[in-house]
Structure 1
Amino acid sequence: MIKLLKNTSTASFGLLLLMGCAGSDATSTASADQIVSPGQSAVSQASTPNTTASATASTSTQNTSAVQQTAELEGAWRTTDAQGNEVVMLVQDGFFTIARFNKANKQFLGTTGGTYTVSNGKFEIKYEFNTLDSTQVGTSTTANFNVQQDQWTMERDGVTDTWNRINESNSTSPLASTWRITGRERDGQMSTMRPGPRKTLKVLSGTRFQWIAFNTETAEFSGTGGGTYTAENGKYTENIEFFSRDNSRVGQSLSFNYEVKDGNWHHSGQSSTGNKIYEIWSRISND
């Protein structure tokens, strides 16, 4: 278990996620109103004639609430650790990433992420990558959460973590989503990349991005980078704030041509190494 936060007075939930110290919470407990006694008869159930209708209405309300809760969480969030390092979380299309870094010192300090669901004030995640504790990959954990006035609090095991929303109200980016690479040009021919345990994703909020490459089957992590971006008039520009493979890239800006066609993001230009690229990315929500 990683214990980099041992000397902090209050360890945040976000950093517990990042450090892999939160553990897994694979078992779920039914709430009192969901429990049916084994001895409850069909007659007693039938004695409430509107049970089915009430249950249907309740389920519909819960589904609507879950959709609303999911919508209010989407976007970019920021907090800091006890050492003043920045921690940024991106939440889009049922996928989240958390990256911890120090931009001034060009230090990448770790990242984790995966899928999530929300329901009745519960934020449940399933890890797909974790750079500091790969044994967390495939496990799940749940926290209570609340969002008020652009502040998101999460609580688990008596630890409360507070995130502040990054203001993206002026953004009109057509790329805010979670994207999976599905095509790459090689020797003038576009090669199709099929879904599998090896994934390369880009998670974009209205103004921030993070790309990650990982393998959910082996828990191997290949790399990541992120920062801010703009997407205007066919030009997509990344401003790099952290880069796991080469910290000399921090502070650089890279511009590409982009176009969204038939729901796919066509991305072309030169990579950070100067090589010509043409890639196609598809929204994971369409998988």
Structure 2
Amino acid sequence: MKKIILSLISITFSLMLQSQGIIGAWEGSSTSKNGELLKTVVIFSNGYQVATTYDATTGKFINSNGGKWKLEGNMMTEEIEFHTDNPDLVGAQVSFKVRITNDEIEIIDRNSKLKRLDNGSPGKLQGAWLMSGRIRDGKTQLRDTSKPRKTMKILSGTRFQWIAYNTETKQFMGTGGGTYTTKNGKYTENIEFFSKDDSKTGRSLKFDYELIDGTWHHSGLSSKGSPIHEIWSIRE
């Protein structure tokens, strides 16, 4: 009996280490039919992930999908919450074999590889967050994050991406992402793609940020130049 228990503990610990090892940002590349170089960035946080492809030169958005994930042995299973190419997949589970090393993920069935960009550090805001409120004219307006309409932001150690979508209607409203830094109370986004407006590519937006009782307060000027004060809660 002791041997069985120890074996189960060993397997569980091994799976935990493997899952933790995938946390962070990963990058792959491919070529479009017209010869453009495409970049794919995948961000894994604790339990949630997003994969996005865009033109490596112009930043033109190509596609994005993501949702929940779990890893059991070499089998990755994703529960899709949004999918720009095939919305009918929203709510479905997709499984595929992977081979993971410290610096590479190989998706065996698809014969594709991703190289590690970071392991979740040094980002102070690493994780999956849901927009849970705003402050307007000094008044706090909270949002129910359990509803199907969500705005999620996933951050690794160096990469960020926000996604607006609805799991009930399977509608995808928009996304943007790139690299970010957190220094001296300032959170800076360097935009590499923006699904609604390619002209935003290359811009840097600087915000004040503060962690208050586990929530992330994010204030400054939006990409449209409008003042914002958003409240984000870590996604469980």
TM-score range, shorter chain: over 0.9
CA RMSD of aligned residues (A): 1.6
Aligned equivalent of 1:115: 68
Q: Shift of residue 189 of structure 1?
A: 1.1
Q: Shift of residue 121 of structure 1?
A: 1.7
Change (3 A) 1:182 1:161: same
Code of the residue aligned with 1:133 in structure 2: it is: N
Work out which of the residue numbers 23, 28, 39 in structure 2 matches 1:86: 39
Secondary structure of 2:228's aligned partner: strand
Is the helix fraction higher in 1 or 2? 1
Q: Is the 8 A contact 1:115 1:127 kept in 2?
A: yes
Aligned equivalent of 2:97: 144
Secondary structure of 1:81's aligned partner: strand
Aligned equivalent of 2:123: 173
Secondary structure of 2:144's aligned partner: coil
Q: Shift of residue 160 of structure 1?
A: 2.0
Code of the residue aligned with 2:23 in structure 1: it is: E
Q: Is the 8 A contact 1:62 1:120 kept in 2?
A: no
Unmatched runs of 5 consecutive residues or more in structure 1: 1-49
Structure 2 matches for 1:185-204, cutoff 5 A? 185-195=135-145, 196-204=147-155
What's the CA shift string for 1:78-116, capped at 9, x where partnerless? 001233200000000110100100142231001000100
Distance 2:199 2:150 in 1: 25
Q: Is the 8 A contact 2:21 2:119 kept in 1?
A: no
Secondary structure of 1:104's aligned partner: coil
Change (3 A) 1:126 1:168: closer
Secondary structure of 1:173's aligned partner: coil
Q: Shift of residue 161 of structure 1?
A: 1.7
Aligned equivalent of 1:258: 209
Distance 1:265 1:103 in 2: 30
Distance 1:205 1:165 in 2: 11
Q: Shift of residue 190 of structure 1?
A: 0.9
Aligned equivalent of 1:226: 177
Aligned equivalent of 1:131: 84
Code of the residue aligned with 1:78 in structure 2: it is: E
Distance 2:202 2:45 in 1: 25
Query: Would you say 1:69 and 2:22 are equivalent positions?
Result: no
Code of the residue aligned with 1:179 in structure 2: it is: W
Q: Shift of residue 54 of structure 1?
A: 4.9
- Identical counterparts, % of pairs: 39
Code of the residue aligned with 1:144 in structure 2: it is: K
Work out which of the residue numbers 178, 184, 188 in structure 2 matches 1:237: 188
Q: Shift of residue 168 of structure 1?
A: 5.9
TM-score, with normalisation over the residues of structure 1?
0.77
Query: Would you say 1:183 and 2:133 are equivalent positions?
Result: yes
Structure 2 matches for 1:4-23, cutoff 5 A? none
Query: Would you say 1:60 and 2:15 are equivalent positions?
Result: no
Aligned equivalent of 1:275: 226
Query: Would you say 1:216 and 2:162 are equivalent positions?
Result: no
Distance 1:149 1:188 in 2: 46
Distance 1:197 1:95 in 2: 16
Code of the residue aligned with 1:173 in structure 2: it is: G
Secondary structure of 2:111's aligned partner: strand
Is the strand fraction higher in 1 or 2? 2
Q: Is the 8 A contact 1:168 1:207 kept in 2?
A: no
Code of the residue aligned with 1:181 in structure 2: it is: M
Q: Is the 8 A contact 2:53 2:63 kept in 1?
A: yes
What's the CA shift string for 1:12-55, capped at 9, x where partnerless? xxxxxxxxxxxxxxxxxxxxxxxxxxxxxxxxxxxxxx3xx555
- From the CA coordinates, give the structure whose radius of gyration is larger: 1
Change (3 A) 1:168 1:69: closer
Q: Shift of residue 186 of structure 1?
A: 3.0
TM-score, with normalisation over the residues of structure 2?
0.93
Q: Shift of residue 210 of structure 1?
A: 0.3
Change (3 A) 1:202 1:119: same
Q: Is the 8 A contact 2:161 2:175 kept in 1?
A: yes
What's the CA shift string for 1:223-254, capped at 9, x where partnerless? 00000011111000000000011111001000
Q: Shift of residue 187 of structure 1?
A: 3.6
Aligned equivalent of 1:24: none
Secondary structure of 2:17's aligned partner: helix
